[in-house]
Amino acid sequence: MQRRDLRRIFGAAAMAAMGTGALAEGLASAYLQARTAAYRGDYAMAATAYAEALRHDPGNRMLLEATMSVQLNAGRPERAALTAAHFAEAGGDSQIADMILLVDAAQKGDWAGILARLEAGGSVGPLVDGLAAGWAHFGRGDVGAALAAFDRTAARPGLARFGRLHRAYALAAAGRHAEAEIAFSGEGSEAGPLRLTRRSAVARIENLSRAGNGSGALALLDRLFGKDLDPRLARMRAVLTDGGTLAFETVADAREGMGESLFTVASALSGEAADGYTLLYARAAEHLAPDHTDALMLSARLLMRLERHDLAIRAYGRVAADDPAHPAATIGRARGLLAAGNARASVEVMDALAERYGAMPRVQVALGDARRAVGDWGGAADAYAAALTLHGGRDEAPWRTLYASGVAHHRAGNWGAARADLRAALAQRPEEANILNYLGYSMVEAGEALPEALAMIERAAAAEPEDGFIADSLGWALFKLGRAEEAIPHLERAAALEAGDATINDHLGDVLWAVGRTREARFQWARALTLGAEDPVRIERKLAVGLDEVMAEEARIEQARLSD
């Protein structure tokens, strides 16, 4: 770090008062550790290191602001609120601090305090300010003022759908379901019906049911979601089909409404802003509404993208076992365990989930993925086969499931089933490079329909010219067709694109040997050995006696097997 950066952070007076050694051992050391941890997304470590830095300089506003952010992202909202309060007392002013203090006030039910803070100029931004004002009025029992605040938000450029949506939520939470449906539908408005997300669609269906229009709620559910329903939607449909009435669960009160406001912002930011920034809003939402499963799931997904697998696993684990989202959360937890390097635990989690939810295709697919990660190709193939059956067979299954099943069957040694799955996947996605490459390469390995296999791989290579594995397949297919000279440039390109792949280097060695470049061939084989080749014994034999003798030995063994 340059000296001028330290001056900006710690101030000239602090720099003058502290020697270089003291900086390295104390404040600067803790700060650098915190910054490094925060950059890695290790929010818990960053919070600890920032706390140590603050011990040296408790009134430093820059440190306080950084600390409250990592505390919130680490799932420590109460500590973040204390830090934000110290920041404000020290004269600090920031949107993040205002958001954290707003959340703390909402958690305590201090609606008058929220309105006073907003009136005094505290601001998170036009959207949050407007929605927060509406829910604060709602919390004080003034529904009219709440609706007026949401209308003012809707009148601002770009914020119409957010203001209209929260107006509908507030009306539904107040029990005014007929008016809420007008807000959802846009009846009498030039703006038309609200554009619905999955969550707001569920809210509208719930509200229609509460308004006494069960048949309309059922029709809307069927129109929006079709037949492939997750557990929550399936439960809702069962209630409506039986003539029952749904509860309005999306927003129950002002605190949940405030949480919904922050979730609305987090959802809008997701994929548009930095994941660490978006996470602040998702964490705030889950703090205000602990049962807000969608906020929990969003936090977990963001943490997975940030590679904070420990925090993601914890977030997924907070989804209750009786929550309709439990299967999806458990799949997320299993993937988090896998990403964290705990593949065996991932399989155990998925095995347990499949015992309870084995009739769900997505559970069987996730089970197959987990088994595949530990090299259990037979078990993976069984799980994918179960998923195909649940989908109604190969003709009805998604191409990705067919592709995964084909790969698993092939690796498990069942080429017939693999071929059928891969052909079915290709029928759905005839230009998908991964399918073309895998099926074509497998056909080459099986010595089956080589011209057709080559044509498939050539199409894949044209679609993905920078894919080293596809370039390898093309070179290998040409070699199998007796066109070794043509194969060499493709395999050399593959080795350049994927220099660390043992199989590609082994293939290049074989082709170089076939054209008489034996010294180069031995170099490639030796390199394949150092890269962890799947069959090191065969490569060592090639290094000892050459490819021709190895192939002759294998031919004699095969002849003897056939004779027996």
State the pLDDT at residue 26.
67
The pLDDT of residue 52 is: 83
pLDDT at site 25: 59
Please report, as a single letter, which amino acid is at residue 488: I
Angle of CA points 308, 309, 312, to nearest 5°: 90
What is the tens place of the pLDDT at every residue in 91-139? 888 899 999 999 999 999 999 999 999 999 988 999 999 999 999 999 9
Q: Is the pLDDT of residue 8 over 80?
A: no
User: Are the beta carbons of 279 and 313 closer than 8 angstroms?
Assistant: no
Query: Residue 14 above 50 pLDDT?
Result: no
Residue 15 pLDDT > 80: no
Domains and CATH numbers, the chain: 343-429 (1.25.40.10), 499-564 (no CATH)
Q: Residue 122: which residues within 8 A CB-CB, separation 6 or more?
A: 98, 101, 102
d(CA 214, CA 219): 9
Lowest mean pLDDT among 21-30, 43-52, 118-127, 351-360: 21-30
* H or E, element range at 261: helix 254-269
Q: Shortest CA distance to 276 belongs to which of 266, 263, 289?
A: 266
Band of pLDDT at residue 13, cut at 50, 70 and 90: very low
* Tokens 């193939």, residue located: 381
Q: Which residues contact 292 (CB under 8 A, 6 or more apart)?
A: 256, 259, 260, 263, 285, 286
User: How is the chain split among helix, strand and coil, in percent rounded to 5?
Assistant: 75, 0, 25
DSSP state at residue 249: -
Q: Any residues with CB less than 8 A from the CB of 163 and at least 6 apart, and which?
A: 130, 131, 150, 151, 152, 153, 154, 155, 156
Distance between CA atoms of residues 477 and 450, nearest Å: 7
The reported pLDDT for the residue numbered 474 is: 96
Given a cut of 70, whether residue 541 has pLDDT beyond it is yes
* Whole-angstrom distance, CA of residue 31 vs CA of residue 14: 14
pLDDT of residue 296: 95
What average pLDDT score do residues 223-230 get? 87
pLDDT of 218 over the 90 cut: yes
CA distance 538 to 19: 64
Whether the predicted pLDDT of 343 surpasses 50? yes
- Distance between alpha carbon 415 and the CA centroid of its chain, in Å? 32
Q: Tell me the average pLDDT across 485-504.
A: 96
Tell me what the mean pLDDT of segment 326-334 comes to. Answer: 96
Question: In terms of DSSP H, where are the helices of 74-213?
Answer: 77-89, 95-108, 111-119, 126-139, 143-154, 160-173, 177-185, 198-210
Please tell me the predicted confidence (pLDDT) of residue 424.
97
What's the mean pLDDT when you consider all of the chain? 91
pLDDT score for 47: 85
Mean pLDDT, residues 434-441 taken together: 96
Least confident of 14-28, 122-136, 419-433: 14-28
In this prediction, residue 7 carries a pLDDT of 34
Residue 330 has pLDDT above 70, yes or no: yes
> What is the distance between the alpha carbons of residues 200 and 227, in angstroms, rounded to a whole number?
19
Say how far residue 195 (Cα) sits from the centre of its chain: 24
